[in-house]
């Protein structure tokens, strides 16, 4: 306002106005590295413009440019996720997006002047937007709930993003401009999703999987982070279990829009949770994680995420893994145990009701259901073109009905009232019973499904669950030509055409071209892998030897350290 009025202001008005404006300064408490510093620097930059103070403006621009960097502290991480605080909780779509908006806004304003940002900073910001922010959104348009924190308990938090940030980045550089232009077209509704990608953010225990017809994500935590952001400003009051392996599936992007006032917060999609009378008080939401094994492997197209979960809130343990391919992904759980005399549930989904729900049992009978149900020997269930398929029939609980709640339950901001909110909701879950001991589950999520597709899916696609034990969880896809394995301990997997052994806990993916490995504990220095493939590799961090008698390669690999610990290493096979 002061810049608009400028010379129309009296000297006294200018003095009084600047006194208020200068509350935003680089010495203020909130101006710490991470998400708040750039917006505050931007406010100070506007003060400098108003005062025609080139020295202060130059200082502001230098501060902004210095923040566009890869760091293991607050800010852009080596995996291109974003952390605002030292709790190591992902904040890419909140503080991290405000951070990018501030930089891009100023980059446009100072483009072509002596104050312009270095090209290196601009390119890193574009990489962060495309490979961090946009990859954490459904089709690059809608925020993924899995990357959200307390902000998802605000009204319309999951609405489609605008085009301003991408357009500003196009204005300041031609670097990766076709990809930026595609984001703009997608957000304007002028293009259809076409991306096929997979990315694991090892600093944030977060995996995203994008296909032209669906988007899926997995959110975990580890002993290297808190399980969730603190409920600052008394928002996000029931997010105790949100990082316990939440798994969101979206086809349109609006599946979870404003559902959260009526949500059962102990039935988080994908998570395995002890069913209490209610979650603890909101001041108990955030706790230091206890799970050292939490990670993933990705080759950019396919990926795996897994956690050896020790709940930070309940006496509950579970080994959980997700194996993501093209037209489906597989969810496995085992070793689910608790001494508590309460039921344990693994939730397939809890989403807005968008269609009829069809259930097929082991006898081949299909039923359209509504209301509350305990279903016996279910072969598959279908809702909103997403199928949940069981290799072996299971007993399942579900409801599809209207649910009531209010915003005040999850957010104590002044706008959040106790006025009733009613939503039609679909939820389905597996009940592992009270005092569960070594319980398990396995199911396949198939987007873009129909009853006909689900009836013959396994035989036509060749998806096979190889093992679901306390030592190994493994799945293969004949169509994708991939075997994905989670080793919770040193072990050997032998399956058709593959011998694979490791001497350390690890996550491994094998296809016709090579092998990809990651350390989910982020504390190992090396690993030895034995595989019945020929690999000639030699270098500072790797060596191999072929055993002709056993027809196996012994591969000794030094694992990434520092900020790259937990990242994927891919080694090609001999051609």
Residue 171: give its domain's CATH number. Answer: 1.50.10.100
The reply to whether 209 and 323 lie within a common domain is: yes
The reply to whether 170 and 238 lie within a common domain is: no
Residue 454 confidence class, pLDDT cut points 50, 70, 90:
very high
The reported pLDDT for the residue numbered 29 is 56
140, part of any domain: yes
484, part of any domain: no
298, 294, 348, 346: which is closest to 324 by C-alpha?
Answer: 298
Query: Quick one: CA torsion of 266, 267, 271, 277, rounded to 10 degrees?
Result: 30
The reply to whether 393 and 407 lie within a common domain is: yes
The total number of structural domains in the chain stands at 3
Which residues constitute the domain of residue 556? 489-575
pLDDT tens digits, 135-173: 999 999 999 999 999 999 999 999 999 999 999 999 999
Cα 210 to Cα 69: distance, rounded to the nearest angstrom: 26
The reply to whether 208 and 241 lie within a common domain is: yes
The reply to whether 136 and 231 lie within a common domain is: no
Mean pLDDT across the chain: 93
543, part of any domain: yes
pLDDT tens digits, 272-310: 999 999 999 999 999 999 999 999 999 999 999 999 999
The reply to whether 222 and 350 lie within a common domain is: yes
Cα 22 to Cα 81: distance, rounded to the nearest angstrom: 31
Cα 326 to Cα 476: distance, rounded to the nearest angstrom: 12
529, part of any domain: yes
Read off φ and ψ for residue 222, nearest 5 degrees.
-155, 175
Last residue of a domain, one of 194, 229, 260: 194
Question: 10 Å Cβ neighbour count for 520?
Answer: 29
Q: Which helix (H) or strand (E) holds 257?
A: none
Q: In 3-state terms, what secondary structure has residue 318? A: strand
The reply to whether 170 and 285 lie within a common domain is: no
Cα 424 to Cα 199: distance, rounded to the nearest angstrom: 33
The reply to whether 385 and 339 lie within a common domain is: yes
379, part of any domain: yes
Instruction: Report whether pLDDT(73) > 60.
Output: yes
342, 329, 335, 314: which is closest to 440 by C-alpha?
Answer: 335
Cβ proximity of 468 and 334 under 8 Å? yes
The reply to whether 312 and 165 lie within a common domain is: no
Give the β-pairing of 343-352 and 272-274: antiparallel
Cα 448 to Cα 506: distance, rounded to the nearest angstrom: 32
359, part of any domain: yes
The reply to whether 120 and 200 lie within a common domain is: no
The model's pTM is 0.94
Last residue of a domain, one of 145, 172, 194: 194
Last residue of a domain, one of 446, 479, 512: 479
Q: List the CATH number of the domain containing 564.
A: 2.60.220.10
Question: 10 Å Cβ neighbour count for 461?
Answer: 19
The reply to whether 74 and 202 lie within a common domain is: no
394, part of any domain: yes
Q: Which two tokens stand for residue 257?
A: 């829009």
277, part of any domain: yes
The reply to whether 154 and 291 lie within a common domain is: no
Cα 222 to Cα 309: distance, rounded to the nearest angstrom: 8
391, 512, 510, 385: which is closest to 461 by C-alpha?
Answer: 391
């Amino acid at each position: 306002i002061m810049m608009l009025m400028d010379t129309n202001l009296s000297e006294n008005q200018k003095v009084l106005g600047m006194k208020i404006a200068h509350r935003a300064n680089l010495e203020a408490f909130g101006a710490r590295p991470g998400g708040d510093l750039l917006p505050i620097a931007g406010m100070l930059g506007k003060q400098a413009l108003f005062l025609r103070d080139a020295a202060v403006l130059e200082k502001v621009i230098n501060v902004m440019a210095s923040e566009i960097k890869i760091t293991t502290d607050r800010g852009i991480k080596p995996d291109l996720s974003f952390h605002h605080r030292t709790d190591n909780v992902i904040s890419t779509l909140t503080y991290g997006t405000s951070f990018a908006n501030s930089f891009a806004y100023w980059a446009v304003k100072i483009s072509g002047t002596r104050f312009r940002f270095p090209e290196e900073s601009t390119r890193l910001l574009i990489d962060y937007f495309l490979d961090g922010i946009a990859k954490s959104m459904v089709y690059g348009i809608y925020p993924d709930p899995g990357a959200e924190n307390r902000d998802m308990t605000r009204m319309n938090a999951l609405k489609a993003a605008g085009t301003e940030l991408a357009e500003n980045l196009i204005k300041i550089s031609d670097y990766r401009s076709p990809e930026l232009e595609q984001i703009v077209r997608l957000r304007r509704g002028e293009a259809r999703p076409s991306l096929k990608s997979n990315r694991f953010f090892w600093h944030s225990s977060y995996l995203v999987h994008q296909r032209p017809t669906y988007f899926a994500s997995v959110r975990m935590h580890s002993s290297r982070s808190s399980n969730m952001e603190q409920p600052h400003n008394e928002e996000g009051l029931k997010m105790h279990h949100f990082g316990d392996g939440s798994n969101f599936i979206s086809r349109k992007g609006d599946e979870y829009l404003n559902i959260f006032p009526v949500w059962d917060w102990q039935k988080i999609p994908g998570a395995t949770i002890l069913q209490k009378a209610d979650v603890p008080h909101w001041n108990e939401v955030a706790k230091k994680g206890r799970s050292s094994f939490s990670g993933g492997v990705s080759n950019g197209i396919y990926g795996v995420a897994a956690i050896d979960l020790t709940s930070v809130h309940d006496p509950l343990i579970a080994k959980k893994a997700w194996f993501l391919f093209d037209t489906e992904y597989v969810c496995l759980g085992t070793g689910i145990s608790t001494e508590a005399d309460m039921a344990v549930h693994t939730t397939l989904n809890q989403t807005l009701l968008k269609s009829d729900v069809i259930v097929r049992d082991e006898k081949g009978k299909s039923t359209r259901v509504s209301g509350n149900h305990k279903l016996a020997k279910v072969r598959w269930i279908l809702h909103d073109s997403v199928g949940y398929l069981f290799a072996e029939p299971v007993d399942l609980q579900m409801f599809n009905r209207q649910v009531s709640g209010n915003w005040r339950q999850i957010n104590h901001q002044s706008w959040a009232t106790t006025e009733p909110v009613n939503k039609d909701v679909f939820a389905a879950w597996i009940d592992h019973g009270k005092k569960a001991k070594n319980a398990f589950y396995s199911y396949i999520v198939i987007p873009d499904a129909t009853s006909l597709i689900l009836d013959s899916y396994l035989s036509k696609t060749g998806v096979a669950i190889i093992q679901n034990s306390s030592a190994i969880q493994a799945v293969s896809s004949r169509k994708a030509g991939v075997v994905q394995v989670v080793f919770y301990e040193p072990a050997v997997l032998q399956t058709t055409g593959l011998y694979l052994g490791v001497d350390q806990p690890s996550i491994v993916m094998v296809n016709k071209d090579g092998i990809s490995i990651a350390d989910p504990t982020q504390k190992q220095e090396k690993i030895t892998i034995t595989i019945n493939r020929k690999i000639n590799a030699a270098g500072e961090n790797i060596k191999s030897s072929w055993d002709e008698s056993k027809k196996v390669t012994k591969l000794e690999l030094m694992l990434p350290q520092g900020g790259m610990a937990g990242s994927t290493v891919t080694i090609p096979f001999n051609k």
